[in-house]
Structure 1
Amino acid sequence: MVFRLKKTTLLATSALTAAALLLTGCGATSSPEKEGTAADPVTIRFAWWGNDARAKATFDVIKAFEAENPGIKVKGENTEFSSYWDKMATQVAGGDTPDVLAMSGSYPSEYSSRGVLLDLDTLKDPIDTSKFAPGTVELGQIDGKQYTITAGVNSMSMVLDPAVFKAAGVELPDDETWTWDEYQDIATKITENSPKGTFGTTPMANDSFFAVWARQGGEPLYADDGKQLGISEARVTEWLQMNLDLQKSGASPGASQVVEDVSAQPEQTLIGQGKQGMKVSWSNQMNSYSGNELLMVKMPGETPTGGAWLRSSMEYGISAKSENTAAAAKFVSFLVNSEEAGKLIKSDRGMPANVDVRATVLPLLKDNQKKEAAYLDRIAEMKLTPPLPFPAGSSATMEVLNRNMTDVLFEKTTPAEAAKKFIDEVNLNLAK
């Protein structure tokens, strides 16, 4: 089985300010589009985020596309994730939106609602999605309109380093049955039986993970009306208390080291250095951590009620103000449907949605990447319905969660107090 998602629409939100987006106006240009030739090509801009390895692969894809389409030139613009959205907000506000732009998480909703993204259903020659796995086309739909095309899918997972487990004399968990209590016990044992500086785990304070945590407890992260959180104060407190307990037991590093680890490059994190047994992680990030033979398993608590779901790890949108939408669409189609592009990108942007490209890519993947593909198939087989779309005003939730988690780990506040602050602040954001 491959990515058998139930049909849904994905509506998300962003940190991009409404004021900035309102400056852009709506709708694509009404003037006839220029059709480029080898002697007089059209030029489109493509913006994405990522590290140097992703940039190199993407520029190689651009070269391959240009060789196949001599009438189109693509100007690539790579930015680190931490500054990508600020840069994009500035460009959008200034009327300088790239023709093709990478999207993820909560951003497509805000961009589309302000007229920044083109409704792809209006293209004269639609982007071919006939080979996409069931459910993956719908990941780019908002209110029934196709605003983005998924570059690949991923999911939340637990990454394990078997070498750390073996050195500590701790058995690997059975991910069909293990619980969060067992997770805490395992993390404590790993630290106790490992050299100083090696730990069982580290905290996770990501809003997408928190949606998983909420769903496992039978609660949605956000209420159906999108005007307040759906997760209870007790459930938030439980997660904060667990991570404080892990820190106090030594199963997790001290607060200062956690802050450093969160901001480190993947290979410089504790798990990247072979100094951590378990890490909650996006599935497509595993291969960037370490050359070690890592494992990817279901998170604790996924039975009987699963919380994880398949989602787009990156999506491609086209600017509604692009003067070259046909060329932009042809480039997006190449990114997601070309086996040549797939060979270069592999699973860097998640596992390809196009099943033919996926079949081409699989034999080229490293062992860790093949493990990711197998893991995503297992998640797909659970047939879990994705959560309702994240509502407007939710773009700051991750920052609010991280801040309150940090305050708990530094013992500036209690888990219960931090949970109340988290809920009050997020609800205030949602009510704006």
Structure 2
Amino acid sequence: MRTNGTGGTGTRGTGTVDRRGLLKLAGGSLAALGLTAAGCGTGSGSDGGIVTIRYAWWGSDDRAKRITRTIALFEKKFPKIKVKTDFQPYLDFWKKFNTQASGGNPPDVFQNAVGFLRKYDAKNVLLDLRGQVDAGNLKLDGFRAGLEKFGEVDGKLLGVPVGSNSMALVVDQAVFRKAGITPKPGWTWDEYYAALAKIRDTQGRAGDSGMFSVMYLYDMYLRQHGKAFYTAEGLGFTEADLTAWWNKAYEGVKSGIYADPKKVSQARPKSAVAAELAASEFTWDNFTIRYTSEGKSQYGLAPIPTTDGKRTGQYLGSLMLSASRRTKHPEEVAQFINFMVHDPEVARIMGYDRGVPATTAQYEAFKPTDPVNRQIAAYEKQLVDTGVLEPITPHPAGADVAEAAFLRIAEEMALGRRSVPDAVQQFFSEAKTAFGS
């Protein structure tokens, strides 16, 4: 997920921000921060009334620095709780976590995403935090837009959101302005394709970076047609559906409204929009910050095209904090999660690094002053105010494997290594295995 992620995590294979490229950007070294990874095999402990909990997450050096500051603040306010930290790039994080979980020694508390809830719940890894809510150690009031329900699966509270994001179209504002295009809420797919063609014809640039593997955009499109990428048990679409979607992507490349996938691949880890190969691409709204740091233009957010001029199929995604079912300190873990999602100072430190703050207290505590973050806040406010947001279906166990397959196969197809029929067949075969059906 681009997870973030769903999750908050981003997913692009032939677009500019593919997961691997993004994760490469998000990689960081513990040594650069002077941090020590939590040791394995010892679990959480206490010494003289001091409780130690282990906290792990994925992300960049900048995220690690921010989180380190929030932990220092937590330990000052809760002097009897110490926090050991560990962070990795996204893929390395999950490899290590899976090893720890399989060995019965996962971190006490860790960053999580919707694609992993059912998977690790089925493996009895995740703590149902509902008991800590009932005990008063964790508050679920004060969340924005119903986000407190984002981590609920089958009546259990398996994660608590720290931020929110949603799919958007990131645009090179200068190119769109020169082409005379102003996307507005409710614009249709036909209008979107016409805009890309106009950019190609008047600006000499592809209108979009491509959509072969933008999994969460495909989910939006399916939702506009009464379906979804996932159901609670598996896939929510057919081989015919995916064939039509990928054929449309191929047609876009041939006509020049989508960027050449090979050039997009060569530009990584730089985004195709910042590399001036395309004028726009679909990604998570909070990823907009990276374009300003990479490119020379001004970048903004445009709405998701619609089928009927109304329904976008959007929902708020979120990174979450989850707890281990094996933790020896559930009360302290709950207090830590509660602090991280409610304390206003945490929001001032983290900003929009993990999305727009999930709780009202933190949302109001951090008022962005830079243009990009202000656009992100305005974009999500518009989604909430217009009532287009829908609930997300909790991803089935195996969704992470299916998503990885989707990304890999879509890229192989985009680069000419697979035909559309072969790619569709291969994906459904791997997804069937992932879901155990």
Q: Same fold (TM over 0.5)?
A: yes
Alignment length (residue pairs): 388
Does the C-alpha gap of structure 1 residues 213 and 348 become closer, same or farther in structure 2, counting only changes over 3 Å? same
1:305 Cα deviation (Å)?
A: 5.1
**For residues 190 and 392 of structure 1, what CA distance do their matches in structure 2 show?**
41
CA contact (8 A) 1:151 1:312 kept: no
Instruction: Name the residue aligned to 2:130.
Output: 121
Q: 2:236 aligns with which of 203, 216, 230?
A: 230
Alignment root-mean-square deviation, CA: 2.6
Could you say which residue in structure 1 is the equivalent of 2:225? 217
Does the 8 Å CA contact 1:223/1:230 hold for their aligned counterparts?
A: yes
1:293 equivalent among 290, 298, 302: 298
Matches within 5 A, 1:234-313: 234-260=240-266, 264=269, 268-273=270-275, 275-291=277-293, 292-301=297-306, 303-304=308-309, 306-313=311-318
Preserved contact between residue 178 and residue 300 of structure 1 (Cα < 8 Å): yes
- Deviation, structure 1 residue 241: 1.8
Q: Deviations over 1:144-166 (max 9, x none)?
A: 11121111111111111112323
When residues 133 and 36 of structure 1 are mapped into structure 2, their CA distance, relative to the original with a 3 A threshold, is: farther
* From 358, 363, 374, the counterpart of 2:378: 374
Supply the AA of the counterpart residue of 1:320. R
- In structure 2, the residue corresponding to 1:388 is in which secondary structure? coil
Give yes or no for contact 1:157–1:281 (8 Å, CA) kept in 2. Answer: yes
Report the CA distance between 1:355 and its aligned residue.
Answer: 0.6
Partner of 1:18: none
CA distance in 1, matches of 2:253, 2:66: 39
Deviation larger for 334-343 or 70-79: 70-79
Q: Which residue in the other structure is 2:146 paired with?
A: 135
Secondary structure class of the residue paired with 2:196: helix
- Amino acid of the structure 2 residue aligned with 1:364: P
Residue among 142, 155, 160 paired with 1:144: 155
TM-score (norm 2): 0.81
Q: Does 1:426 align with 2:431?
A: yes
Shift of 1:240: 1.1
Q: In structure 1, what is the equivalent of residue 121 of structure 2?
A: 112
What is the CA deviation profile of residues 403-424 of structure 1, one whole-angstrom value per residue up to 9, with x for unaligned ones?
Answer: 3322432334443443344334
Note the residue ranges of structure 1 that are not aligned, 5 or more in a row. 1-9, 11-32
SS of the residue 1:313 aligns to: coil
Q: Give how far 1:49 is off.
A: 0.7
- CA offset at residue 84 of structure 1? 1.4
Cα 1:382–1:232 shift into 2, 3 Å: farther
Aligned to 1:15: none
Give a deviation string over 1:201-256, Cα, whole Å, max 9, x none. Answer: 112314333211211233232456x25x3323333122212221222223333232
Distance 1:335 1:293 in 2: 33
Does residue 61 of structure 1 match 2:61?
no
Query: CA separation in 1, counterparts of 2:176 and 2:145?
Result: 37
Q: Does the 8 Å contact 1:153/1:310 carry over to 2?
A: no
Residues 216 and 305 in structure 1, CA contact (< 8 A), matched pair in contact too: no
CA gap of 1:34–1:93, structure 2 versus 1, over 3 A, is closer
Superposed CA offset, 1:285-343 (max 9, x none): 11122155322121112644524333332000111111222222211111101101010
Distance, in Å, in 1 between the alignment partners of 2:237 and 2:182 is: 28
Matched residue SS, 1:101: strand
Per mean C-alpha deviation after superposition, the further-off stretch among 174-183 and 140-149 is 174-183
Report the 3-state secondary structure (helix = DSSP H, G, I; strand = E; otherwise coil) of the residue aligned with 1:136: helix
CA change 1:182–1:241 in 2 (3 A) is farther
- AA paired with 1:112? D
CA-CA distance at 1:46 after TM superposition? 0.9
Alignment correspondent of 1:14: none
Is 2:402 the counterpart of 1:397? yes
The question of whether the paired residues in 2 share the 8 Å contact of 1:240 and 1:408 is answered with no
Q: Which runs of structure 2 are paired with 1:294-373 in the superposition (5 Å)? A: 294-301=299-306, 303-304=308-309, 306-361=311-366, 363-373=367-377
* AA at the equivalent of 1:86: K
SS at match of 1:106: helix
Supply the AA of the counterpart residue of 1:89: N
Change (3 A) 1:111 1:284: same
Per-residue CA distance 1:319-371 (angstroms, 9 max, x = gap): 1111222222211111101101010111211111211210111x235221121
Q: Write the distance in 1 (CA, Å) between the matches of 2:417 and 2:190.
A: 25
Cα distance in 1 for residues equivalent to 2:372 and 2:319: 20
Q: CA deviation at 1:191?
A: 3.8
SS at match of 2:357: coil
Runs (4 or more) in structure 1 with deviation over 4 Å come to 33-37
Say yes or no: does 1:101 pair with 2:110. Answer: yes
TM-score, normalised to structure 1, is: 0.82
1:159 to 152, 163, 170: 170
Q: Residue 35 of structure 2 aligns with which residue? A: none
User: What's the counterpart of residue 20 of structure 1?
Assistant: none
Aligned counterparts of 2:250 and 2:377: Cα–Cα separation in 1: 33
How far did 1:35 drift?
7.4
Q: Which moved more, 1:239-248 or 1:303-312?
A: 303-312
Distance 1:282 1:343 in 2: 21
Write the distance in 2 (CA, Å) between the matches of 1:257 and 1:353.
37
Q: How far is the alpha carbon of 1:428 from its aligned partner?
A: 4.1
Determine if contact 2:231/2:396 at 8 Å carries over to the other structure.
no
